[in-house]
Amino acid sequence: MTGQTDGLPVLAWLQKSLDGTLQETDVTHMQYPTAISRTLGIRIVEVGAGTATVEIDASPGLHGNQQGTVHGGLLCELADAAIGTAHSTLMQEGESFASIDLKINFFRPVWTSTLRAVARPVQSGQTITHYHCDIVRDDGKVAATVISAVMTLRGDKAQGR
């Protein structure tokens, strides 16, 4: 998290970015795109209040494991990016968040595919929000499902995060 910006709320900034109306002077208090998303090529494709969909073009040549399929860790990161983006849309200036846990169930292998991770809240509290995220291959089949809990940090706990 950066210092005070008096900029756009995260959700408004992301929506403007997606619809192509973001101006150079538009700022928000969180950093987008994240460094890990730039490195891996993860794209935000949809956002709403507490929801997000992200995509990545995955292939064994770039993201492979020893079996020749896409590494499960990439699916974990993709889900974490979707969940983090979803939760960030709820953050106000002076707030941040941290993942508490993340559990993934793998259902199908992935070879070359555009993977889509769709995150939505299952239960939202004042401090803890539980998320569900499906990772879907480009053939429409679910490759993995993730559940995660995220804690909103405020005041001194949000400083420097």
Q: Note whether residue 5 is domain-resident.
A: no
> How many domains, the chain?
1
Q: What confidence score (pLDDT) does residue 71 get?
A: 98
pLDDT category of residue 24 using cuts at 50, 70 and 90: very high
pLDDT tens digits along 10-20: 999 999 999 99
Which contacts (CB < 8 Å, 24+ apart) does range 9-13 have? 9/92, 10/88, 10/89, 10/90, 10/91, 11/47, 11/48, 11/49, 11/89, 11/90
Q: Note whether residue 125 is domain-resident.
A: yes
- Whole-model pTM: value is 0.93
Taking the CA of residue 120 as centre, how many other CA atoms within 13 Å lie in the half-sphere pointing to its CB?
5
Q: What confidence score (pLDDT) does residue 1 get?
A: 41
Residue 63 CA to residue 86 CA, distance in Å, equals: 24
**Domain range for residue 56?**
10-158
Q: Note whether residue 1 is domain-resident.
A: no
**CATH number for the domain including 29?**
3.10.129.10
Average pLDDT over residues 38-61: 98
Q: Note whether residue 3 is domain-resident.
A: no
Q: Note whether residue 2 is domain-resident.
A: no
pLDDT tens digits along 74-127: 999 999 999 999 999 999 989 999 999 999 999 999 999 999 999 999 999 999
Q: Note whether residue 39 is domain-resident.
A: yes
Q: Note whether residue 20 is domain-resident.
A: yes
pLDDT tens digits along 55-76: 999 999 999 999 999 999 999 9
Q: What confidence score (pLDDT) does residue 151 get?
A: 97
